[in-house]
A = this chain, B = another copy of it.
Amino acid sequence: MNTRLNLEQIRAFLTVVRLGGFSKAADELGLTQPAVTTRIKNLENTLGVELFERTSGGVLLTKRGDILARYAKQFEQLSELVQRDVMDPSGIEGHLRLGVSETIVQCWLPLFIEELYRMYPALEIEINVDISVNLRTMLLDREIDLAVLLGPISEYSVDNVELPEVDLAWYRAESDQSSNDQPSRYLEKPIFTYARNTRPFRELRSELLEHLGPNYSLFPSSSLSACFRLVESGLGVAALPRVLGQRFVSEGRICEFDPGWRPNPLKFSASFLGEPKSHLLETAAAIASATARSFDDKKL
């Protein structure tokens, strides 16, 4: 039994190397675990060489396996280049598991999806909305492929494309004129904001402490549109993205006020694992960046 080198075998091999196990690789490849065993075994037979030492509780690269891994990465890179330079993008198939923060959903997610779909009509896109800290974990656990979340992820394995900052503004109900003479007193009302465990929440809390001392009450919400509704009803105020508030303002439902300071703008990034190198992910992140910028431009 001896056949030729095969890219699927190499991909399986590399996935096993990266994830350190046949089962995990099978998971990532969308195969059963015996199928991975078969692929590796066939590859080993083709080469006439053992690639892994099967130890209890995992596998270890042999010396030959290590050499092959270097070449395997080049094979994969070359495949990526072919996909980038030769393939018709409309023919590119695959899954893209997207993770996005709620802010992005409200801002430009539909535009982003539309653009992505225009470029890769054959791509299956899966959307997960969650708070950034969870998205981060999901990305590192390879449960999603691309995350649009707060701040760059400081991990050597992650590539971050920084997106334009999202300015926040203070909003109150249009009808609430109670503290017009001294806008900072609006902050004595309940303050709605991002969910606990989010960076905006923590930052806002520390800034409030700095500006007001302990005299504030903060109500986190996992839904931005809920925040806007709550502000509109006059129950309280909120520091929320200006790009989202504009619509409510122009409809005369809420309005900005200036207590003399504003929370820092939100820094989003489109983040993905750099390994394995994927031109599709790089392009998708670039599209996210372009979409975010054009969304800003439209709103100015």
Contact = CB atoms under 8 A, between A and B. Distances in A.
A300 interface: no
Nearest to A9: B7
Contacts of A7: 4-7
A88 B2 contact: no
Question: What is the predominant secondary structure among interface residues of chain A facing chain B?
Answer: helix
A168 to B, nearest CB: 44
A74 B67 contact: no
A262 interface: no
- This protein's copies in its complex: 2
A7 B10 CA distance: 11
A216 interface: no
A187 to B, nearest CB: 57
Nearest to A50: B88
Interface stretch (A75-83, A107-115, A189-197, A237-245): A75-83
B4 A47 contact: no
B5 A82 contact: yes
Nearest to A48: B91
A119 to B, nearest CB: 13
B82 A71 contact: yes
Contacts of A88: 47-49
A87 interface: yes
Contacts of A175: none
A47 B85 CA distance: 10
Considering the complex of A and B, which 8 residue pairs feature the smallest CB-CB distances, nearest first? A48-B91, A48-B88, A68-B86, A47-B87, A71-B82, A49-B88, A67-B86, A67-B85
Interface of A: 2, 4-8, 46-49, 64, 67-68, 71, 74-75, 78-79, 81-82, 85-88, 90-93, 122
Given A47-B88, A48-B87, A71-B85, 8 more contacts: A2-B91, A6-B7, A46-B87, A47-B91, A49-B91, A67-B85, A71-B86, A78-B78
